[in-house]
Chain A
Amino acid sequence: MPELINTKRSDPYEEYFKKIGTNEFFHSFAKGGVAIGLRIPIKEVKDIGFAIKKANEAGFNARVDDVYGYLEIAKYGYRKEDDQKVVEELKKLAKEISKEDYLEHIEKLNFQTNQKSPNANNQNELVGAAFNELEALCEVLNIPIVSSAEKLKKLNPDSTVIFASEHGNSETEPYMIKEILNQKLNSSINNGKKIILGFEFYSDKYFVDLLNDPKRNLNDDTFNELLALMLLGKLLLG
């Protein structure tokens, strides 16, 4: 368990967020849309209940992190064309829900994007903000985070692997998943255990049986029709 970090009231906000292992602010363009979010120390929020209500009304997700003491207000996956509008909405919301001390600080925050817009050659990029969030959480939990099957290979072969997918990356992901499963298969030969693949797909018994039947799972008409409708389909068939 990570040590809870003692923060002082006198810590500047930058120092405070550095101590708790996350960023105060994120704003990035990526293939899945734009993401923006602000984390406000709870002690700087006028009223948490009111803040969450206001955030939801304004179309933002609101999440309280009780462990490290901040309220996160964020919006993910919106259109680039709407960015300026969303920035203004976030600033307005932050001012409405913050105490006096933090208001001045908001004025000084640079709400410009901290990551470049993706181009056609940058198809493997995760939503930047989400990746930052993943990294911060992994750091807090002491969980290693790797970006390739080769790096995974250097870690404990018996690890539980959680693959954070973009759900649209049909160029790289299928090969990575295949490589990871091959690694696990080699490991299972050594330890004699069956590999369990937890998979984000419908959990009806029909699909459970189908997915586990290699004679049927790529030839079933219903399954293939469903895959054709899903963003995930191209990835699975990749």
Chain B
Amino acid sequence: MFEIKPFDVTYSESLEKLSYAVKGDKEKEKEYDKRRNSQIVKNILDLLKAYGDNLVVYTGTFHVIDLLTELKELMKSGNIDGIKIDNIVVVAIK
């Protein structure tokens, strides 16, 4: 039995980027991307906290890099509670 939990921004939130693209506002587009990336990492972290050993996360390579970087920071600060890092496996097609 599966339950799918999408963790990206909402459709209407995603249109915000389009509005900046139409205006040619590169700076705002970059800010939006940064915000979205942070949101995705936060949402995956929430999933990792909630579902330790029955979770499959499907996302882009760069989000995984951001996620692992954040995990490294959390380990450093000692705020890793609830996340079983030693139970994680990364799959990446070489």
Contact = CB atoms under 8 A, between A and B. Distances in A.
Partners in one complex: yes
B58 A197 contact: yes
A180 B56 contact: yes
Contacts of B1: 188, 194-195
Given A158-B87, A173-B93, A201-B8, A196 B56 contact: yes
Contact of A202 (B2, B3, B11): B11
Interface in B38-94: 40, 43-44, 47-48, 50-65, 67-69, 71-73, 75-76, 84-94
B7 A198 contact: yes
B91 to A, nearest CB: 5
Given A160-B84, A208-B4, 11 more contacts: A125-B94, A141-B75, A144-B90, A145-B89, A163-B58, A166-B60, A188-B1, A195-B54, A198-B58, A201-B8, A202-B14
Interface of A: 1-2, 63, 65-67, 76, 124-127, 130-131, 133-134, 137-138, 140-149, 152, 155-156, 158-167, 169, 172-173, 176-177, 180-181, 184-185, 187-188, 191, 193-204, 207-208, 211-212, 226
A169 B56 CA distance: 18
Contacts of A177: 58
Contacts of A152: 89, 91
A181 B57 CA distance: 11
Contacts of B85: 141-143
25 contacts: A67-B73, A126-B93, A131-B61, A134-B65, A134-B92, A141-B88, A143-B85, A147-B93, A156-B89, A159-B89, A161-B89, A162-B59, A162-B67, A165-B58, A172-B93, A176-B93, A180-B56, A181-B2, A188-B54, A194-B1, A198-B56, A199-B5, A200-B58, A202-B9, A203-B9
Interface of B: 1-12, 14, 40, 43-44, 47-48, 50-65, 67-69, 71-73, 75-76, 84-94
A100 B91 CA distance: 41
B61 A164 contact: yes
Contacts of B56: 160-163, 180-181, 184, 195-198
A235 to B, nearest CB: 10
B54 A201 contact: no
A62 to B, nearest CB: 12
A137 B67 CA distance: 10
Contacts of B68: 134, 137-138, 141, 143
Contact of A180 (B3, B12, B48, B91): B91
